[in-house]
Amino acid sequence: MSPTAEPTVVIVPGLRDHVPEHWQTLLADRIADARTVPPLEKDRLSCDAQVAALDEVLSEISGPVVLVAHSAGVMTTVHWAQRHRRPVLGALLATPPDFEATLPEGYPTAEDLRDNGWTPVPRTALPFRSIVAASTNDPLAESGRVAGLARAWGSSLVDLGPVGHLNPASGYGPWPRAEEFVRDLGRTPSD
């Protein structure tokens, strides 16, 4: 691996289908050679299947990597980091949901999440640099709980203010700060 190689950005979406106007989709379109973990056709709610899909994408990349995860993609990333040791430069972990709390109607139940391996949520330090970008009014996670996860993971916590779940339903298509975070995480210690 060349120390001057540009990192490959790997987009780790949540449990949603492809959403053209989502900031992750727009980011992937703007970054050359970005890779996106594809949505699963079956076992969609399975943590093991989501982790395997991320690992499959990563196994196809030989150089440095920056992960860009949103929502359940954050949980996929932290579960992946517990099981695999592939080098990663850093990860942007945007608006992680609180899978240990009751989610709003229309989202998986606590029982479904437990039965599919999502809980308990890992609380050990990640083996790479990470930034947790948190909302103060996310309907899927109370900001204090997200701050606790960031501390447990050894992540830098960035308060985004009241941005909801940072998705199209919250008014986010483009999110220019994502590119700033990716650039920061993609720098090697010698940069």
User: In which residue ranges of the chain is pLDDT below 70?
Assistant: 1-4, 188-191
Q: Largest Cα–Cα distance in the chain?
A: 48
Task: Please give the sequence-ordered ranges of beta strands (E in DSSP) within the chain, or none if there are none.
Answer: 8-12, 35-36, 65-70, 90-94, 129-134, 156-159
Q: Are strands 65-70 and 90-94 parallel, antiparallel or unpaired?
A: parallel
**Angstrom distance (rounded) from CA 59 to CA 55:** 6
**Angstrom distance (rounded) from CA 20 to CA 31:** 15
Strand order across the beta sheet in which 35-36 lies? 35-36, 8-12, 65-70, 90-94, 129-134, 156-159
> What pLDDT was estimated at residue 74?
98
Residues in the chain, how many? Answer: 191
